[in-house]
């Protein structure tokens, strides 16, 4: 097993490197020592103030799962802004607020109806392409259409299938409620 390298390469370009070397010289440090010190300071700072936890969607909630009431007070302008955004995104104000909260907790997209429709159309088109590729692969397996290899088509089909799964998951995540952990 290879021992991992302890060195790091950083490509700064000639101008930035010259500025860095001059800056380090003014501090009486080598460029490498100054970078190491900066990294140590950043890691120490991060250890003292870790970023807030990012939650993730873990499982689908059944439709019958009870919701817990939570009330908030908004200014008139906040309420009006939410109404405008919800109308723009063709969803209820409640849905828009839940999506905003979920996006803040999970750092994952929560799509409006316009995006969901676009993703659905994308999946439809990809499924159609996949069917066509299957037909080409079948002909290749029968010995027809020499210039294209079965392996190339299968790799492409695998990529398309992964995209379909990712888009389907994004649509479900946007339309359905999930547990967060």
Higher confidence at residue 91 or residue 111?
A: 91
128 and 163 together in one domain: yes
Domain co-membership, 142 together with 162: yes
Residue-range definition of the domain harbouring residue 44: 14-48
Q: What is the pLDDT of residues 117-126, one digit of tens each?
A: 878 888 888 8
Tell me the mean pLDDT in the region 61-73.
81
Same domain, 33 and 66: no
Q: Is residue 62 a part of any domain in this protein?
A: yes
Give per-residue pLDDT as tens, 124-177: 888 888 888 888 788 778 877 666 777 877 878 888 888 887 777 777 766 665
pLDDT of 21 reads 95
Domain count, the chain: 2
| pTM, to two decimals | 0.53
- Angle 16-22-25 (CA atoms, 0-180°, nearest 5)? 140
pLDDT at 18: 95
Please say if the pLDDT value at position 99 is more than 60: yes
Domain co-membership, 69 together with 36:
no
**Is the confidence at residue 73, as pLDDT, over 60?**
yes
Phi, psi at 59, each rounded to 5° = -155, 155
pLDDT tens, 12-55?
Answer: 999 999 999 999 999 999 999 999 999 999 999 999 998 888 88
Shared-domain flag, residues 28 and 67: no
């Amino acid at each position: 097993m290879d021992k991992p390298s302890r060195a790091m390469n950083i490509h700064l370009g000639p101008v930035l490197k010259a500025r860095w070397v001059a800056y380090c010289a003014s501090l009486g440090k080598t460029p490498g020592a100054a970078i190491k010190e900066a990294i140590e300071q950043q890691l120490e700072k991060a250890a003292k103030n870790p970023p807030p936890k990012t939650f993730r969607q873990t499982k689908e909630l059944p439709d019958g799962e009870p919701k817990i009431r939570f009330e908030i007070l908004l200014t008139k302008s906040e309420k009006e802004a939410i109404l405008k955004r919800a109308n723009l995104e063709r969803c209820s104000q409640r849905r828009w607020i839940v999506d905003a909260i979920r996006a803040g907790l999970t750092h994952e997209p929560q799509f409006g109806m316009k995006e969901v429709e676009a993703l659905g159309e994308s999946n439809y088109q990809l499924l159609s392409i996949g069917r066509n590729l299957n037909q080409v692969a079948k002909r290749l397996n029968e010995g027809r259409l020499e210039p294209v290899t079965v392996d190339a088509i299968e790799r492409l089909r695998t990529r398309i299938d992964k995209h379909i799964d990712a888009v389907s998951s994004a649509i479900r995540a946007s339309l359905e409620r999930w547990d967060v952990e």
